[in-house]
Chains A and B, each alone.
Chain A
């Protein structure tokens, strides 16, 4: 590595995640979209299962081919065994069904649950409200944990900008549904509204009229009915939310932040690491996926500049010269990419304290079957029966 300018990541390396897959009872993978989060979740799950632990991987939106490899052919709420892997189940999160189940559980009577589920805002809300998907993932996680069928539960979080908002998603959702302000002018808490209205110098009527002008009539009434129908359920929601939070913060849980070596993904990872630390969540480390593999030791003495200059002087030669020139140029390009990627990772880590950084080289071919997942596993948790066949 010396030939390409040192190794800025050396001080962060501290083993792999084998301890995590051997011990954690809950593993949460988080990171920006497109970084290979689901792949990593599946890889960690394989690692846990390989250690004889009964494991389930809960994914949000797996790519089709990966889903097929995991035996997730139909959209089912139930866990199904992963073909060819002893002790590993996989399941997909069905947002709507999970939300429905939540409403069913907390509604004081079945009629109320039905009324909520038939409201025209309900469907929209279950998919569009920020944090809902995160909340449902955590809800499902808690349900699985409570059932106690598994030694290890691995989950990947939704690929949203605010993927870590699931930490306060339960709070946000309950705050929102409780809708103090909403209820001020939607009529459920009219007494309170008058007091607050006086206090801020505004009657709720003015706001109501203004809001109606914006949305049109009828919409607010429907919305009001929707919030009214949730009346009395907030306590249940909240209690559950704090239990989920406690579970995630317990030492049996492990958060794994995933990134690709691109600055946008790394910025997200940096935010996640900060956020987890702030919230006192147990962080296992950062996994940087799809790094360009560094040049092997046999090329360590060849500098990028030497390679480029030699390539330039060979570029107009015979067939053999041009072939050698291309080899040298490819080497120089890859070496520079390696430097850029590792610098970007090191820059993102400034001022953060990940427990460790685990590097996963770009693999060939693309990862979408169990065999390939095992290959990734050799880098992430050191378990595999296949050779480490990373791209050179």
Chain B
């Protein structure tokens, strides 16, 4: 598995600890896919409605809508998936209306363990296998904004558990074919997202091991919010030894940034704090490299007063560069 081939898989399962930028990354990956000529679907399964603000669109629902050229967005839920499944396999319009409109959904989606997850992944599988009239796959690439790391193993192993629990019938067959898709290393890649902080890195390493255990191919690990290197070695050396606050204040003021020595000291203190964070990032990056047999895809920390469509587009650009 190398960076340049990652977008050639059919399904990317993007996961990560809360707060690391999982959905943002999924959006940027999908946009990069579409902009490199792939018909791409971006799929949301938890109804969080994170994407509308990132793409500046109305709320997403079960209908696949083109949000950018070649990029289709959809938000799927278990009830719609169940209804579609029933209609598809039983032509059961009357029944499905009755089912969906009642507590029976509660039964199908919560009582039988994991069925909700099976329905969601089942819907993804339907999209992945779907073909147009000319026989070509409808989508070249599907990016799934999957549940967070803490739940991803349960989510992806639900079909297998269902196969074990449900001894016969179409649900079993459905679950079986979903398992086949998830564990097909040529089709599906798990893409964990992390930031270079202690907890997310630890969780990523544990999650990666568990995903491999499941037989899911591990793709590049996306390292988000990487702090930039701001100084070359020579300038760094001057900062550590030589430049006084007075000298800094003078040069800054001469360049049009009015600064007193006290302000210069504050700048130095900020730089020192930043250096400590960067050092921690370096250490954690090494830990990821050492303990994880997967390439890292690094995305920079984004300094801007807002985060929206322009920033997603920039991130997608960074990914395009990296996978080229």
User: Which A residues fall within an 8 A CB radius of B?
Assistant: 32-35, 61, 63-65, 120-121, 124-125, 128-130, 159, 161, 176, 180-182, 200, 202, 206-207, 210-219, 223, 260, 262-265, 267, 295-296, 298-299, 301-302, 306-307, 309-311, 313-314, 319-324, 326-334, 336-337, 339-340, 343, 364-366, 368, 391-392
Contacts and interface: CB of A to CB of B under 8 A. Distances in A.
B239 interface: yes
A346 B18 CA distance: 21
A323 B231 contact: yes
A216 B168 contact: yes
B252 A328 contact: yes
24 contacts: A34-B18, A65-B198, A121-B111, A128-B154, A161-B48, A181-B103, A182-B103, A207-B104, A212-B169, A219-B112, A223-B111, A262-B19, A264-B48, A298-B262, A302-B263, A309-B257, A310-B252, A322-B232, A322-B235, A324-B248, A336-B303, A340-B304, A365-B280, A366-B199
B170 A366 contact: no
Given A34-B18, A159-B150, A336-B304, A213 B263 contact: no
Contact of A365 (B161, B167, B199, B276): B276
Contact of B267 (A213, A214, A328): A328
Contact of B305 (A128, A322, A339): A339
B267 A331 contact: yes
A267 B49 CA distance: 10
A306 B259 CA distance: 10
Nearest to B229: A326
Contacts of B266: 295-296, 298-299, 392
Contacts of B180: none
B323 interface: no
Q: Which of B46, B165, B262, B276 has the most A CB atoms < 10 Å from its CB?
A: B165
B247 A320 contact: yes
Closest 7 CB pairs of A and B: A33-B18, A34-B18, A34-B19, A216-B169, A310-B257, A124-B113, A181-B103
Contacts of A366: 197-199, 280
Interface residues of B, number: 87
A348 to B, nearest CB: 12
Interface string B297-324: 0000001111100000000000000000
B58 interface: no
Contacts, number: 228
Nearest to A129: B110
A35 B157 CA distance: 27
B39 to A, nearest CB: 28
A182 B111 contact: yes
A329 B230 contact: yes
Nearest to A161: B46
Nearest to A390: B273
Contacts of B18: 32-35, 159, 264-265
Contacts of A337: 303
A364 B154 CA distance: 34
A129 B110 CA distance: 6
A43 to B, nearest CB: 16
Contact of A260 (B19, B108, B243): B19
Interface of B: 17-20, 23, 46-48, 50, 53, 86, 90, 92, 95, 98-99, 102-104, 106-108, 110-115, 148, 150, 154, 161, 165-172, 197-200, 202, 230-232, 234-239, 242-243, 247-248, 251-252, 255-260, 262-274, 276-277, 280, 303-307
B280 A326 contact: no
Nearest to B267: A327
Contact of B168 (A121, A217, A333): A217
B302 to A, nearest CB: 9
Contact of B104 (A181, A301, A320, A332): A181
Given A306-B256, A333-B303, A391 B17 contact: no
Given A124-B114, A340-B306, A343-B306, 15 more contacts: A33-B148, A34-B18, A34-B148, A181-B106, A182-B103, A211-B107, A216-B169, A310-B252, A310-B257, A322-B234, A327-B248, A327-B267, A327-B268, A330-B267, A334-B270
Given A219-B166, A333-B303, A323 B238 contact: yes
Given A180-B103, A323-B243, A392 B236 contact: no
A301 B269 CA distance: 17
A128 B165 contact: no
B247 A263 contact: no
B78 to A, nearest CB: 11
Contacts of A298: 260, 262-263, 265-266
Contact of B98 (A125, A128, A202, A213): A202
Contacts of B154: 128
A365 B197 CA distance: 10
Contacts of B170: 213-214
Contacts of A331: 267, 270
Contacts of A218: 167
Contact of B251 (A159, A161, A324, A332): A324
Contacts of B304: 336, 340
Given A128-B113, A302-B259, A319 B237 contact: yes
Contacts of A364: 273, 276-277
A319 B23 contact: no
A307 B171 CA distance: 62
A333 B274 CA distance: 12
Contacts of B86: 214
A32 B300 CA distance: 24
Contacts of A211: 104, 107-108
Contacts of A219: 112, 165-167
A252 B82 CA distance: 44
Contact of B256 (A32, A176, A309, A330): A309
A302 B258 contact: yes
Given A214-B108, A217-B168, A319-B235, A125 B257 contact: no
Contacts of B150: 33, 61, 159
Contacts of B230: 326, 329-330
A322 B231 contact: yes
A336 to B, nearest CB: 5
A129 B90 CA distance: 28
A120 to B, nearest CB: 8
A301 B264 CA distance: 12
